[in-house]
Structure 1
Amino acid sequence: MPGAPTRVAYAYDRLRAYPPEVAGRIATAMGHAVAGRGEEPVLLELGVGTGRIALPLIARGYRYIALDLDPAMLEVFQRKAAGVMRKVRFLLADAREIPLPEASVHAVIAVHLWHLLPDWQRALAEALRVLKPGGVLLEGWDQLASGPECRLQERWRELLAEEGVLVERGLHRRRLSEVGEALRRLGLRPRTREVVAWREERTPREALEALSERLYSFTKGVPEEAHRRAMGRLGAWAEREFGDLDRPFPVEKRFFLRSTRLS
């Protein structure tokens, strides 16, 4: 049986993955951003996780440096990338101290990363340090329309508040704004566009599992006992609210890409 960190990594891989056609659209957009530079591009992803962004790019032939601080995430990714290992270099390292020389990669990819780092400025400085002149910083994020999954998350937050545990939401969006402002202060010109919109199906049971396994950043700081009690009450609430926990509901999502090219 896998240990708890590896179990969580597999849950993340299953519940946070992109549908193949969506992953392909994201890879195409990123590939266009690094095309036409006259040499074989090298891509570095910070916080690569289990490879949901990386694998479609690796499959297209890009040389890839996959960095993550979580060995369980890298372990799952390595197993998935076994057939294309010659194109991948794995780095168990901190995005705030990238073990690469200056001006060594053509693109740095950061998807859902900045809000996980209190001192994100160090990671941003490191990302810009390792980029070649003319290289590009690619930041990506999802936007989820409100719906049953959001209602579950909000109810979880309310149950914790009843125990005196306050959960901060919205940090991801604020952090993206802060990073954008920092890039503009450096004289750079970040450009954002929507890459793809899609609909998935999710069951209440899957949404509960994602919360239970703490797959979202806003769950990380909650004390374990409070989280366990809230999940027990949330499960009972979900059964009353939704009835069949295995009946799927639609989830509307969009993926955005912000590109910032060095001069």
Structure 2
Amino acid sequence: MSSALTRVAYAYDRLRAYPPEVAGRIATGIANALQARGEEPTLLELGVGTGRIALPLIARGYRYIALDSNPAMLEVFRQKAAGVMRKVRLLLADARDIPLPAEEVHGVIVVHLWHLLPDWPRALAEALRVLKPGGALLEGWDQVEAEAECRLQARWQALVAEEGFSVARGVHRRRLAEVEEALRRLGLRPKTREVVAWREERTPREALEALRERLYSFTQGVPKEVHERAMARLALWAEAEFGDLDRPFPVEKRFFLRVSRLT
């Protein structure tokens, strides 16, 4: 496993983690959406990452299948879950080809994944295939408002554009709408609600690190050399724009959960 993959996995774990109380509220929202009767629920998470959704649910005793195609992410997850692995199964696999039998799990959790898959209908079909009758597809996502971070991202995008590369933004939101439409065409009735809202603080230095390590999907199609040049220029711009890169700015966040139940 490359050191670059491992470094990015640890950066993701630090910079994309939920505060403990928020993670607990999200776990409660997911648990309340399950309606498994007469048997112990088993959950499958597609794109589990380093476990920010999974660990609070595992701590509550759920059987958990943690799937990811990135071995570094799974390794960080394994280390964090070392003391509670009795009911956990790790799967290094692609969400578009889930190595499980049909009707195997009570809930499939998908958080910030659909927009990473150009052929997402295949992953959606697989998610529905492994759900038991009465099981639930549980889609989650964050909505973030952070004016300072938006300025950094917009400046990065402009610097990349100066080198002749356009960056598509907003794919995540469009994909959520496409998936909802597909679910309705299948006769399902997805219902969305806000689970929790909270405020965090982040520094310009942390925001720069998130961009540098390509933790946002919109950065990943830019050639390495272009990205590195843009980041070098962005760091200079940020120092002039913000002064102290360790002075925190507020970030407003909300987490939404969309539930679609099979009949």
Structure 1 residue 9 displacement after superposition? 0.1
Structure 1 residue 36 displacement after superposition? 4.8
The Cα RMSD (Å) is 0.8
Give 3-state SS (helix, strand or coil) of 2:180's partner. helix
Show CA shifts across 1:73-122 (max 9, x none): 00000000000011100000000000000000000000000000000000
Q: Which residue of 2 aligns with 1:73?
A: 73
Q: Which residue of 1 aligns with 2:3?
A: 3
Letter of the structure 1 residue corresponding to residue 190 of structure 2: P
Identity within the alignment, %? 80
Whether the aligned pair in 1 keeps the contact of 2:70 and 2:92 (CA below 8 Å) is yes
Whether the aligned pair in 1 keeps the contact of 2:64 and 2:87 (CA below 8 Å) is yes
**Mapped partners of 1:31, 1:213: distance in 2:** 33
Q: Which residue of 1 aligns with 2:137?
A: 137
**Mapped partners of 1:37, 1:236: distance in 2:** 58
**Mapped partners of 1:199, 1:212: distance in 2:** 24
Matched, 1:170 2:167: no
Tell me the TM-score normalized by structure 1. Answer: 0.98
Give 3-state SS (helix, strand or coil) of 2:44's partner. strand
Q: Which residue of 1 aligns with 2:205?
A: 205
Q: How many residues align?
A: 262
Q: Which residue of 2 aligns with 1:234?
A: 234
Tell me the TM-score normalized by structure 2. Answer: 0.98
**Mapped partners of 1:13, 1:226: distance in 2:** 25
**Mapped partners of 2:189, 2:142: distance in 1:** 21
**Mapped partners of 1:26, 1:143: distance in 2:** 14
Show CA shifts across 1:195-241 (max 9, x none): 01100010000000000000111111110010000000100110111
Give 3-state SS (helix, strand or coil) of 2:201's partner. strand
Structure 1 residue 38 displacement after superposition? 2.0
Q: Which residue of 1 aligns with 2:87?
A: 87
**Mapped partners of 1:231, 1:211: distance in 2:** 8
Give 3-state SS (helix, strand or coil) of 1:152's partner. helix
Structure 2: stretches of 5+ with no match in the other structure: none
Structure 1 residue 134 displacement after superposition? 0.1
Give 3-state SS (helix, strand or coil) of 1:61's partner. coil
Q: Which residue of 1 aligns with 2:215?
A: 215
**Mapped partners of 1:247, 1:35: distance in 2:** 45
Whether the aligned pair in 1 keeps the contact of 2:47 and 2:113 (CA below 8 Å) is yes
**Mapped partners of 1:140, 1:38: distance in 2:** 26
Q: Which residue of 2 aligns with 1:44?
A: 44
Letter of the structure 2 residue corresponding to residue 227 of structure 1: H
Structure 1: stretches of 5+ with no match in the other structure: none
Q: Which residue of 2 aligns with 1:188?
A: 188
Give 3-state SS (helix, strand or coil) of 1:122's partner. helix
**Mapped partners of 1:11, 1:37: distance in 2:** 39
